[in-house]
Amino acid sequence: MCSICEKPLVDRAPVVSVLHELQDGYERLDCHPECWKTAPREWEPFSSWEGVYSAPPPPDKKETLKKETADELLRHLISLDDPAMKNVVYVLAVMLERSKILVERDAKEQPDRTIIRIYEHRRTGESFIVLDPRIRLENLSDVQSEVVALLSGTKTLGEVSSKPEDSAEGNTEATTNGKEEPATAPAE
């Protein structure tokens, strides 16, 4: 449904998606491009992008459990909003992007050189706002193995987040622009 005129969105038709920054988070709007262009508003979007609307498919019982688990884990981690998990959240999001489950829609560099990346779930259209903490390459494999341990159930969230963080803070000397090269895909 269009967030402005409240009429249905058409499958495979263009759609404008907008993040509206609120005091305690973000509101996601999906609108007809004409509605977005013409409707009056008194705020500037935090982010906006054009895409193609795809109507949510009927629930697919054959969907593999593993992939559900990976994006379920991301939802859960984001809802926890635990700074100790920021590296894990980011690496998991990148792994989901590489598995074509998420697509990156926007990236905003912060004054401290971290980047806010906005991912969209290809199937459900949800948006995920993920901080890219600019992990140093030498820390990346540790984070990846934590993500894999969480996905495979060999570690709990408590075990991962209570682990003392070494040099993840103040990693301002990261020299690469954009993303490092994390793993290929969540463990199958």
d(CA 165, CA 86): 11
Task: For residues 105 and 116, give the distance between their C-alpha atoms in angstroms, rounded to a whole number.
Answer: 11
Which range binds Zn ion by CB under 5 A, 27-35, 66-74, 113-121, 155-163? 27-35
Q: How far apart are CA 29 and CA 125, in angstroms?
A: 11
- Give the C-alpha distances (Å, rounded to integers) separating 48 from 73, 74, 95, 128, 145: 26, 22, 23, 13, 34
Phi then psi for residue 183, to 5 deg, are -60, 175
The smaller minimum CB distance to Zn ion, of residues 12 and 76, is found at 12
From 20, 26, 35, 51, residue interacting with Zn ion (rule: CB under 5 A): 35
Q: Which stretch binds Zn ion (CB under 5 A): 5-13, 89-97, 146-154, 176-184?
A: 5-13
Select from 32, 86, 117, 134 the one that contacts Zn ion (CB under 5 A): 32
Residue 49 Cβ vs Zn ion, minimum distance, rounded to whole Å: 17
Rounded to a whole number of angstroms, the minimum distance from the CB of residue 27 to Zn ion is: 16
Report DSSP letters for 162-186, one per residue: TSPP-TTTT-TT---SS-----SS-
Question: Is 2 a binder of Zn ion (CB under 5 A)?
Answer: yes
Tell the smallest beta-carbon distance from residue 137 to Zn ion (Å).
Answer: 45
Q: Report how many residues bind Zn ion under the rule CB under 5 A.
A: 5
Give min distance, CB of 116 to Zn ion, in A: 27
Side-chain-side CA neighbours of 155 within 13 Å: the count stands at 18
Which of 98, 106, 92, 82 has the alpha carbon at shortest distance from 144?
A: 92
* Contact pattern from residue 40 through residue 79 relative to Zn ion, giving x for each residue in contact according to CB under 5 A and a dash for the rest: ----------------------------------------
Q: Is there binding between residue 131 and Zn ion (CB under 5 A)?
A: no
Q: Is 5 in the site for Zn ion (CB under 5 A)?
A: yes
* Alpha-carbon gap, residue 133 to 169, rounded angstroms: 9
Binding residues for Zn ion (CB under 5 A): 2, 4-5, 32, 35
